[in-house]
């Protein structure tokens, strides 16, 4: 098995798009947030595709499912941080809606991957 097969996962690809978008948006956050929200939001965004990749590289399906669950937890964390960023006026409503739409698409794709893997385990 090729080490980079995780790159074929639609969920990973969307996660990478999301992380890139979050990095670009958070560049405009106040410098006083560099060790606060900026760092936190970037870590959550990077965690999504990173956990999918790490889980894909594990030797068991159950481990992969665990990393998918962690990735989904990061989605929830990121959603909260995007909403807070908008409340604090660090990002516009349009930017918030764009990221939240991508986040929703990523979330649905990750849930679909999770269901498919569980079905294989049960079947």
Give the CATH number for residue 84.
1.20.1440.60
d(CA 4, CA 54): 11
- Give per-residue pLDDT as tens, 82-115: 999 999 999 999 999 999 999 999 999 999 999 9
DSSP class of 90: S
Number of domains in the chain: 1
User: b vs e for 18-51, b when ≥16 Cβ sit within 10 Å of the residue's Cβ?
Assistant: bbebbeebbeebeeebeeebbebbbebbbbbbbb
- Compute the mean pLDDT over every residue in the chain, rounded to the nearest whole number: 95
* pLDDT for the residue 59: 86
Range of the domain at 47: 5-122
Would you say the C-alpha torsion 66, 68, 69, 74 has a positive or negative sign? Answer: positive
The pLDDT tens digits of the residues spanning 69-84 come to: 999 999 999 999 999 9
pLDDT score of 123? 67
Is residue 1 predicted with pLDDT exceeding 50? Answer: no
């Amino acid at each position: 098995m090729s080490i980079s097969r995780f790159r074929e996962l639609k969920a990973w690809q969307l996660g990478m798009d999301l992380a890139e978008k979050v990095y670009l948006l958070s560049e405009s956050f106040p410098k006083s947030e560099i060790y606060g929200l900026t760092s936190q939001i970037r870590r959550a965004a990077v965690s999504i595709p990173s956990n999918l990749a790490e889980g894909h590289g594990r030797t068991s399906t159950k481990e992969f499912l665990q990393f998918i669950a962690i990735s989904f937890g990061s989605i929830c964390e990121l959603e909260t941080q995007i909403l807070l960023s908008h409340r604090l006026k660090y990002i516009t409503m349009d930017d918030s809606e764009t990221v939240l739409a991508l986040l929703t698409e990523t979330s649905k794709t990750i849930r679909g991957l999770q269901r498919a893997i569980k079905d294989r385990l049960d079947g």
